[in-house]
């Protein structure tokens, strides 16, 4: 899905009053090769998102808004083949993420409005009951991904980007 579709998905997730959250979102075509295909408008579908259902303890991989719409139409039925139990997910190591979802949305909004030289390439959550988030950001002219594990990290990056 495109970045614009990603933002639409995030808004639709918010309508579920905390039942649904983002477990993982990336634009890395190596992690998700199908994400590099083009959608019907010819735009690169660059984002793949794992949407977590806290009520059912499951998640679903969303590469198109239509997948999420189908998930909504089936009332998040865990018998849907694409829905995976959260127990299948293993954290790869200790997470020190401290951002709330509201802070993630604030960072996305601010980058879109004020900092075109920055782009978000990753959003990742802890597996706990109240997930905390980290974000990967790339800056034009700078190699590698910058990991933002707390909002204060974004504030420092914002000062540097000036």
In the chain, % of residues over pLDDT 90: 37
| Greater pLDDT, 2 or 75 | 2
Q: What is the pLDDT of residue 159?
A: 86
Q: What is the pLDDT of residue 23?
A: 93
Q: What is the pLDDT of residue 74?
A: 82
Phi-psi region of 68 (alpha: psi -120 to 50; beta: other; left: phi over 0): alpha
Q: What is the pLDDT of residue 37?
A: 41
| pLDDT tens profile 96-135 | 899 999 999 999 999 999 988 888 989 999 988 889 999 9
* All structural domains of the chain with their residue ranges: 3-88, 101-161
Q: What is the pLDDT of residue 31?
A: 54
At residue 38, what are phi and psi to the nearest 5 degrees?
A: -100, 145
Q: From residue 35, how far is each of 11, 31, 128 by CA, in Å? A: 20, 9, 27
| pLDDT tens profile 152-162 | 999 998 888 76
| Greater pLDDT, 125 or 40 | 125
Q: What is the pLDDT of residue 29?
A: 60
| pLDDT tens profile 1-36 | 888 999 999 999 999 888 999 999 998 765 544 444
Q: What is the pLDDT of residue 92?
A: 66
Q: What is the pLDDT of residue 128?
A: 84
Q: From residue 94, how far is each of 24, 70, 88, 145 by CA, in Å? A: 16, 34, 17, 19
């Amino acid at each position: 899905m495109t970045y614009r579709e990603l933002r639409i998905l995030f808004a639709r997730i918010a309508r579920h009053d905390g039942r649904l959250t983002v477990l993982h979102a990336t634009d890395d075509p190596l992690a998700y090769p199908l994400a590099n295909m083009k959608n019907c408008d010819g735009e690169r579908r660059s984002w793949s998102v794992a949407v977590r259902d806290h009520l059912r303890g499951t998640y679903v991989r969303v590469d198109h808004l239509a997948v999420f719409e189908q998930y909504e139409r089936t009332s998040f039925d865990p018998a849907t083949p694409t829905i995976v139990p959260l127990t299948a997910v293993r954290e790869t190591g200790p997470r020190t993420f401290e951002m709330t979802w509201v802070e993630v949305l604030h960072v996305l909004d601010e980058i879109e409005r004020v900092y075109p030289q920055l782009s978000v390439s990753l959003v990742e959550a802890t597996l706990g009951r109240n997930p905390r988030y980290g974000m990967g950001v790339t800056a034009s002219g700078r190699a590698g991904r910058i990991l933002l594990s707390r909002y204060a990290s974004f504030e420092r990056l914002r000062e540097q980007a000036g």
